[in-house]
C-alpha cells in the first residue's frame, strides 16, 4: 500500500545501513525492533515503505532519532563528525529480519 505512494528509486535511497551495535542488539531482542541509519530527509512513512519493500516484512511502527555528531580535536584544529539520523522500526509480531542470512 505505502510502496505505491513513493517511487522505488527514492525508497532505495532512504535506508543507508543497519546499525549493528550493543544497544541495537538489546533493542532488537527486548522490543522486536530493528535499527537503521537513514537519509537525513527521510520521513517515517518513507522508512516504513522502504523496509516493507526491501525485506518483505510488515512494519508496525517507526520511531526516528537525530544524533548529533561528536566534536573531535586533532591538535589545535577542532572538527565535528556528521550528524546522523536513525530509525527504530518495530515489526509486526512474528516478523523478523536476519541480516546474517541475507548476506550469503
pLDDT of 19-58, one tens digit each? 999 988 898 888 889 999 999 999 999 999 999 999 999 9
CA-based nearest residue to 36, from 59, 58, 14? 14
- pLDDT score of 31: 86
Least confident of 26-35, 39-48, 75-84, 92-101: 92-101
Tell me the pLDDT band of 3, cut-offs 50, 70 and 90. very low
What is the residue-averaged pLDDT of the chain?
87
**Residues near 54 by Cβ (< 8 Å), separated by ≥ 6?**
11, 12, 15
Tell me the pLDDT band of 95, cut-offs 50, 70 and 90. confident
Alpha helices in 1-104 (DSSP H): 2-5, 8-14, 22-31, 44-55, 99-102
How far, in Å, CA of 26 to CA of 88, rounded? 12
Residue showing cell 526491501:
54
Domains of the chain, with CATH numbers?
2-69+80-94 (3.30.70.330)
Task: Reply yes or no on whether the pLDDT at 104 is more than 50.
Answer: no
**Residues near 21 by Cβ (< 8 Å), separated by ≥ 6?**
35
How far, in Å, CA of 4 to CA of 9, rounded? 12
Amino acid at each position: 500500500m505505502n510502496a505505491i505512494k513513493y517511487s522505488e528509486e527514492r525508497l532505495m535511497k532512504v535506508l543507508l545501513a543497519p546499525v549493528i551495535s550493543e544497544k541495537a542488539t538489546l533493542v532488537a531482542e527486548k522490543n522486536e525492533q530493528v535499527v537503521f541509519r537513514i537519509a537525513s530527509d527521510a520521513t517515517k512513512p518513507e522508512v516504513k515503505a522502504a523496509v516493507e519493500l526491501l525485506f518483505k516484512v510488515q512494519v508496525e511502527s517507526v520511531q526516528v532519532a537525530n544524533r548529533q555528531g561528536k566534536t573531535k580535536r586533532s591538535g589545535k584544529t577542532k572538527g565535528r563528525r556528521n550528524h546522523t539520523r536513525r530509525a527504530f522500526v518495530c515489526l509486526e509480531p512474528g516478523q523478523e529480519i536476519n541480516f546474517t542470512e541475507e548476506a550469503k
